[in-house]
Structure 1
Amino acid sequence: MSGSPVLTFLGAAGTVTGSKFLLEYENHRTLIDCGMFQGEARWRRRNWDTFPIEPRTLGAVVLTHAHLDHCGYLPALVRQGFHGPVICSAATAQVAAIVLRDAAHLQMEDAVHAGTGGYSRHDPPLPLFDTEDAERAIKLFRPVPESGRADLPGGGAVTLHRAGHILGSTFAVVELGGRRLAVSGDLGRPDHPLLLPPEPLPGADAVVIESTYGNRLHQPLDHARLARLITSTVDRGGVVLIPAFAVDRTAVVLRELTELTRHELIPHLPVYVNSPMALAALSVYRTAISQKSAELRPEILGGDDPFDPGDLRLVHSVDESIRINNPGRPCIILSASGMATGGRVLYHLERLLPQAKNTILLPGFQVAGTRGRQLLDGARAVKIHGHYIPVRARIADLPEFSAHADADELVDWLSSTPEPPEAVYVVHGEDDARQALAERIDDELGWTAVTPRHLERVRL
């Protein structure tokens, strides 16, 4: 392939998940992000499609961050023959290892459940990848040096810049064939309680930008409302269950619960963290604090433990997890996954959803087709482990906890570049969000903004 580089949208085009962007020039191929599709069955089925190119021909994969919809397909890619370097930040290498090991465990566990429950269309049910695939993928991680810049196999280079979304998150600027492509990954918010905001956007010929909240604006976190939701549940003798992403979201929610408790806005309660992945991610956060990571806000680096409301209980074993299904007193349980697609939170939902005294708090975006979205949309029953569970608990949305930049913040980030790009490709959003952001970019910035289709190819 000669001429200018070619960009192909292998994921996150028409949906919020499955981020994969293929950059080709002459005989060089680099994949930027390698995410799993999540949510509705029509998207999840794409994880099982034949990969559009031979994975062995990829020179490298660049990961912007460690969320499953950006890194979770990597073990499947390795299973199919990819063996090149996986370039990422040092913190992403740490966190992605946790995420991939957990994902492999859940893949294998779900296959067993499907087999014993008889609710799979496959016989026998198989995981997309297993723990061996995950370990092989982890061995390919190549953290970038402190400069954030790394050479790409066969030519070109990539520079990773702070994105402020989760610990280790970056946006990537790839230089190849005399052109520069910036890929936003997921952009964080200027007021993230733990992380510094995204760095400005350098000049680039083209930009790929996420649009999760491309048609919405975040409101400031209503601390009083959250306190009321918790105290009213306690008054009913109920349990507050928070399905929270293990990476970052659990830490942010614990930070808020700690502040509410210290200011006596909620009673002192046992707070259980029941997710092996969340516990491992918390450990990475605490290490970053002790090492005074340049990603963290200065106010987090000193003082008391920002993640301990006073009665923090870390749940490690399955037996402990089972016991807190009947805690015997009001408490707060944080468990993954954040959109209730799998993990230990499902067992808590089975137990707690049928009781009106309990409250389920949903802190952040819920992808269409997930149980979290079904609950948010008012489902009277949700299917868990092959059975329908009645929904009588109170369901409350807390979108203010989202770690994604909103529409104004996305436009502000684009505006920080010293020179307009030739084109902006709006991805990683539902169609209405993508279109709204593209129209704003066109109207307010006067730039060419398009919403690419799945598998569409464009020249840079």
Structure 2
Amino acid sequence: MKIHFLGAAGTVTGSKTVIEHNNIRILIDCGMFQGIKTLRELNREPLAIEAQTIDFVLLTHGHLDHCGWLPKLVADGFDGKIFCTRPTKEISRLILYDSAKIQEEDARRANEEESTQHSPATPLYTTENVDAVIPKFRVVEKDIEIQLEENVFFKFFYAGHILGACSIELHIDGKILVFSGDIGQDDDVLMFPPQKPTKADYIFLESTYGNRIHPETDALIELEAIINNTYHNGGTVVIPSFAVERVQAMMYLIWQLKKDNRIPDIPYVIDTPMGINVLEVFKENRPWHKLSFEECEEMCKVFTLISDFQDSMNMVYNKKPKVVIAASGMITGGRVLSYLERLIEKPETTVTLVGYQAEGTRGRKLLEGAKDIKMYGKYYPVAAKILLIESLSAHGDQNDLLNWLAALESKPTKVFLVHGENQAADELRLKVKERYGFDCQVPYLGQIIEI
């Protein structure tokens, strides 16, 4: 059996792992690379394994770094089935169409403004490419064994993180391979605790926060202070947020603060069409999260929900204090850029980061103290306050990742640490070895390992 690490090895994006055994090839996730340019450029490269030779895709969840390369895979010749949970299909559809539209718009703007090194600039894929992906989705329930061929079957089990997210237990000729996908926190605001595996010969464990412990701070108190301080300074709070789960988690926290009259009566704005659409997915998939339908409805009443572009522009130029939640979470694109173009130079603005910021993204640069930031080909000086509420991450921290291994009934042959920057993965490797004595390896991008 060969394992091809084609993404999320030494980095947190571009998740792609191919399992090759006899005449079958299974791709676990098919994500887009994000962050530094050398990684983003990999999105334009063909897969190291010809797309038409892949039989199945198993999708852990619908974030762009796990599903965002599917249109390219299909355009390059993949013609198999894509298995996922119902919420993951719905979220992936929203994310893929949004991604395609953003790419089309960015290419159009670059060509009009002649701000591109490529002539002409072209999107990685189009909405028509996404159209070709959707019919290939096959929805399956979690905790149900699905046969792929003789002696090959899998099942999904609950991972927390975002709506629909699951880990994968894959059986091939009697060997059990477990892929964590992205694992949520044990005490997430909206998601239930992730389910732990009990049996595995080989484990592929994410390591996003492999070297960090989330602070034991109260996110409500942090958010309350940020909103009140910014309001008293006459400024706006801009919260770049992932449209899936993070937007809804922030809405929930603000709703709690508003119910208790702990924050001022100012506009609370959700300006992400996809995030608004995901709210409907939340309402339709109640068993996957903690909120009731009635709570979802009551929460939404606190917010101004913006889908129309002109309404968005009107809000961007509205000078009154407000709190705006807009995608994208790592400030790699989306409507949050329009707010930051206008507000990043103002010292009374507070930019509040509430999720992981990958290497090379604008979010990471702001977090590391960048004095200016480039948007749409122009540099803007950073005068706004840049704050991080670290405890709100949708990813489990080092303790959560270690605890996820605690229910194994026997020692696995090997644990592969993926989906993490090298330092985070290596520190988690040492911790896993120290606590459990498991043989751990941190694979590199493009590595092929025989097991």
Would you say same fold, with TM above 0.5? yes
Give me the whole-angstrom Cα distance separating, in 2, the residues matched to 1:304 and 1:212. 31
Which of 86, 108, 113 lines up with 2:109 in the alignment? 113
Q: Which runs of 5+ in 2 are unaligned?
A: none
Distance 1:62-1:403 versus aligned 2 partners, 3 A rule: same
Amino acid at match of 1:55: A
Deviates more, 1:369-378 or 1:142-151: 142-151
Give me the whole-angstrom Cα distance separating, in 1, the residues matched to 2:441 and 2:412. 13
Deviation digits for residues 125-173 of structure 1, max 9, x if unmatched?
1111110111211211101135432222576111100001100000011
Distance 1:369-1:233 versus aligned 2 partners, 3 A rule: same
Please say if residues 143 and 157 of structure 2, whose CA atoms lie closer than 8 Å, have aligned partners that are also in contact: no
Deviation digits for residues 229-275 of structure 1, max 9, x if unmatched?
11111111111110000000000000010111112221122111111
Number of residue pairs aligned between Structure 1 and Structure 2: 450
CA RMSD, Structure 1 to Structure 2 (Å): 1.4
Amino acid at match of 2:327: A
Give me the whole-angstrom Cα distance separating, in 2, the residues matched to 1:168 and 1:188. 12
Distance 1:154-1:386 versus aligned 2 partners, 3 A rule: farther
Q: Say whether residues 1:190 and 2:186 are aligned partners.
A: yes
Match of 1:396? 387
Give me the whole-angstrom Cα distance separating, in 2, the residues matched to 1:327 and 1:333. 11
Q: Say whether residues 1:242 and 2:220 are aligned partners.
A: no
Which of 285, 289, 311 lines up with 1:288 in the alignment? 285
Give me the whole-angstrom Cα distance separating, in 2, the residues matched to 1:432 and 1:324. 41
Give me the whole-angstrom Cα distance separating, in 2, the residues matched to 1:65 and 1:224. 30
Match of 2:84? 88
Q: Residues 405-424 of structure 1: matches in 2 within 5 Å? A: 405-424=396-415
Q: Say whether residues 1:229 and 2:226 are aligned partners.
A: yes
Q: Say whether residues 1:274 and 2:271 are aligned partners.
A: yes
Amino acid at match of 2:191: L
Q: Say whether residues 1:329 and 2:320 are aligned partners.
A: yes
- What is the DSSP-based 3-state SS (H/G/I as helix, E as strand, rest coil) of the residue aligned with 2:311? helix
- What is the DSSP-based 3-state SS (H/G/I as helix, E as strand, rest coil) of the residue aligned with 1:94? helix
- Shift, 1:42, TM fit: 1.1
Please say if residues 151 and 171 of structure 2, whose CA atoms lie closer than 8 Å, have aligned partners that are also in contact: no
Amino acid at match of 2:289: L
Amino acid at match of 2:58: V
TM-score, structure 1 normalization: 0.95
Q: Which runs of 5+ in 1 are unaligned?
A: none
Q: Say whether residues 1:261 and 2:258 are aligned partners.
A: yes
Match of 2:49? 53
Give me the whole-angstrom Cα distance separating, in 1, the residues matched to 2:393 and 2:232. 28
Distance 1:254-1:314 versus aligned 2 partners, 3 A rule: same
Please say if residues 268 and 311 of structure 1, whose CA atoms lie closer than 8 Å, have aligned partners that are also in contact: no
Match of 2:418? 427
Q: Say whether residues 1:174 and 2:170 are aligned partners.
A: yes
Amino acid at match of 2:256: E
Please say if residues 59 and 152 of structure 1, whose CA atoms lie closer than 8 Å, have aligned partners that are also in contact: no
Distance 1:307-1:172 versus aligned 2 partners, 3 A rule: farther
- What is the DSSP-based 3-state SS (H/G/I as helix, E as strand, rest coil) of the residue aligned with 1:112? helix
- What is the DSSP-based 3-state SS (H/G/I as helix, E as strand, rest coil) of the residue aligned with 2:434? helix
- What is the DSSP-based 3-state SS (H/G/I as helix, E as strand, rest coil) of the residue aligned with 1:152? strand
Give me the whole-angstrom Cα distance separating, in 1, the residues matched to 2:5 and 2:430. 20
Give me the whole-angstrom Cα distance separating, in 2, the residues matched to 1:185 and 1:363. 20
Give the fraction of aligned pairs with identical amino acids, expressed as a percent.
Answer: 37
- What is the DSSP-based 3-state SS (H/G/I as helix, E as strand, rest coil) of the residue aligned with 2:285? helix
Q: Say whether residues 1:312 and 2:303 are aligned partners.
A: yes
- Shift, 1:309, TM fit: 6.8
- Shift, 1:202, TM fit: 2.7
Please say if residues 283 and 293 of structure 2, whose CA atoms lie closer than 8 Å, have aligned partners that are also in contact: no
Distance 1:375-1:457 versus aligned 2 partners, 3 A rule: same
- What is the DSSP-based 3-state SS (H/G/I as helix, E as strand, rest coil) of the residue aligned with 2:227? helix
Distance 1:412-1:26 versus aligned 2 partners, 3 A rule: same
Moved over 4 A (4+): none
Amino acid at match of 1:244: S
Amino acid at match of 1:204: A
Match of 2:208? 212
Amino acid at match of 2:185: R
Deviation digits for residues 201-220 of structure 1, max 9, x if unmatched?
13111000000000001123
Deviation digits for residues 41-69 of structure 1, max 9, x if unmatched?
01111111121111111111000000000
Please say if residues 163 and 170 of structure 1, whose CA atoms lie closer than 8 Å, have aligned partners that are also in contact: yes
Give me the whole-angstrom Cα distance separating, in 1, the residues matched to 2:191 and 2:208. 19
Give me the whole-angstrom Cα distance separating, in 2, the residues matched to 1:305 and 1:408. 30
Match of 2:337? 346
Give me the whole-angstrom Cα distance separating, in 2, the residues matched to 1:186 and 1:277. 21
Match of 1:34? 30
- What is the DSSP-based 3-state SS (H/G/I as helix, E as strand, rest coil) of the residue aligned with 1:360? strand
Match of 2:161? 165
Give me the whole-angstrom Cα distance separating, in 2, the residues matched to 1:173 and 1:333. 39
- Shift, 1:121, TM fit: 2.1
